[in-house]
Amino acid sequence: MEGGVHIVSRRMVRPAAEHAGELPEHETVHHLTPLDLRMITGDYVQKGVVLPKPPGGGEHVVEHLVSSFARALARFYPLAGRLAVAETPPSPGGARPTISLSLRCNGEGAEFVHAVAPGVTVADIADSLYVPRVVWSFFPLNGMLGTDAAVEPRRPVLAAQVTELADGMFIAMSLNHGVADGFTFWHLFRTWSEINRRRGADSADLELSTPPPVFDRWFVDGIPAPIPLPFAKLEDMVRRPVYTPVEECFLHFSAESVRTLKEKANAEMAAAGAAATATISSLQSVVAHIWRAVCRARRLAPELETRHGLSVGLRARVKEVPQEYMGNTVVGAVARATAGELLGGGLGWAAWLLNRAVASAGDVASVRRMLPAWPETPRFVTVASLQNAGVMVISGSPRFDVFGNDFGWGRPVGVRSGAGNKLDGKMTVYEGRGGGGSMAVEICLAPEALARLVADEEFMSAVTAPPPTHH
């Protein structure tokens, strides 16, 4: 028993093909790109949805979920594979030792966990300002880094957990971040939910509206595959994270509130004469509002530099990367200012800093120059590089379809993330439960700073009560 969560069963689920040719006849290998490898030293991507209680409930529903998960895995069969590491010793001529990492698509399977938490209700999770710590127990593979999947005995790169609540269900997945990003995560989740919703366990073939993934990895010219990394062994490239204690809150911004923040940010920049160079987006406006409030809550000295790390997706920017690409397509961007400048400059200026950082990092020509140079001096995303008094970092997107994941008995009433990558200053953004341009943001901060944030009237004036769960 962990925090009121009891594990009923664990099993390995293999891909179950429905269509001829859906699975390869022989084992294939996917070599990891620089954008994959830079993420492999972090925790797994962990997201899950809160659902109403399925009619009937119990073992039948769980077995149906196992069956549909196996069919979704057939569409995403590389995620049922295993990471493999190859070591090249130093040569007599003085060549340095290297290692390379690849994904072997051998169909060994993904883990599936069935759990129960009879003392936890839907409202405990979906209607709470603070995220209860029990939520972390709703996720499998806690504490695993992406590289751990390449260590013998090799662990899965994907796992799912279904937890029965007192009056609902929590369905979660954990996905190795060195293999794929958040877009792929929700693409798989949407495929699984549609299969479960649209067919019984033994029904006939049915075409899905969710498109299949595209497997071919994007390698820029000049990059070898597999990429030789300048380490003698896997352990040499890994720095295990040491997390400082945080608490989490979950905040809702209505479509009207988002619109108001965006209008204010753009009006301020127009007054400053910057309207011709940039239009501030809805997300940039909300993030700027949070960034400034967190600086106040942390009580940063005016001269201290504060940095905000952003993820910039390349799917819409690079023509060789299709929308359904199954891999990592994200580069990092950083906005910088001193705390005094950020708080004195206004919402529009803070949002403009974010806007300029995204525009610079998303420049396709600079990305094409950066990627071939990465293998010579590889840099990995680590907690140690982000855990700093003035740093914030954001993941997720309001464009990911979270609330469309109806498994057959009702749409989700909430979304939450697991323990992975929960550092002080981490934000995760989702589409809002009410849709229509609303947003939801999960914020992790040191407990005393978070208490000051939610007591900040200027900040909270833009935060709205969540829509009713109707559970």
Q: Give the DSSP H or E segment for 431.
A: strand 426-431
Mean pLDDT confidence for 394-418 = 96
Is 460 in contact with 454 (CB distance < 8 Å)? yes
Is 171 in contact with 162 (CB distance < 8 Å)? yes
What's the pLDDT band for 470 if we cut at 50, 70, 90? Answer: low
For 85-123, write each residue's pLDDT tens digit.
998 888 777 678 999 999 999 999 999 999 999 999 999
Domain boundaries, the chain: 6-237, 247-460
Which of 43-47, 101-105, 199-203 is least confident? Answer: 199-203
Mean pLDDT confidence for 159-177 = 97
* pLDDT attached to residue 191: 97
* pLDDT attached to residue 417: 98
What pTM was estimated for this model as a whole?
Answer: 0.95
Superfamily of domain 247-460 in CATH is Chloramphenicol acetyltransferase-like domain (3.30.559.10)
Write down the residue that tokens 């990471």 correspond to: 83
* pLDDT attached to residue 155: 94
In the chain, the amino acid numbered 50 is V
pLDDT value at 201 more than 50? no
Short-list 77, 37, 319, 342, CA closest to 191 = 77
Strands 45-52, 98-105: pairing kind: unpaired
- Are the folds of 6-237 and 247-460 the same? yes
- DSSP 3-state of 25: coil
The DSSP output letter for 395 is E
Mapping DSSP onto H, E and C, the string for 52-89 reads ECCCCCCHHHHHHHHHHHHHHHHHCHHHHCEEEEEEEC
Per mean pLDDT, which of 52-56, 157-161, 218-222, 433-437 is the most reliable? 157-161
In the chain, the amino acid numbered 144 is M
Report how far residue 91's alpha carbon sits from residue 257's, in angstroms, rounded to the nearest whole number.
Answer: 62
Torsion 399-402-403-407 (CA) sign: positive
Superfamily of domain 6-237 in CATH is Chloramphenicol acetyltransferase-like domain (3.30.559.10)
What's the pLDDT band for 3 if we cut at 50, 70, 90? Answer: low
For 305-329, write each residue's pLDDT tens digit.
999 999 999 998 999 999 999 999 9
Burial of 332 (0-12, 13-18, 19+ CB in 10 A): middle
* pLDDT attached to residue 50: 98
What's the pLDDT band for 59 if we cut at 50, 70, 90? Answer: confident
Which of 189-198, 232-241, 284-293, 436-445 is least confident? Answer: 232-241
pLDDT value at 21 more than 80? no
Is 392 in contact with 412 (CB distance < 8 Å)? no
Mean pLDDT confidence for 228-249 = 92
Mean pLDDT, all residues of the chain: 92
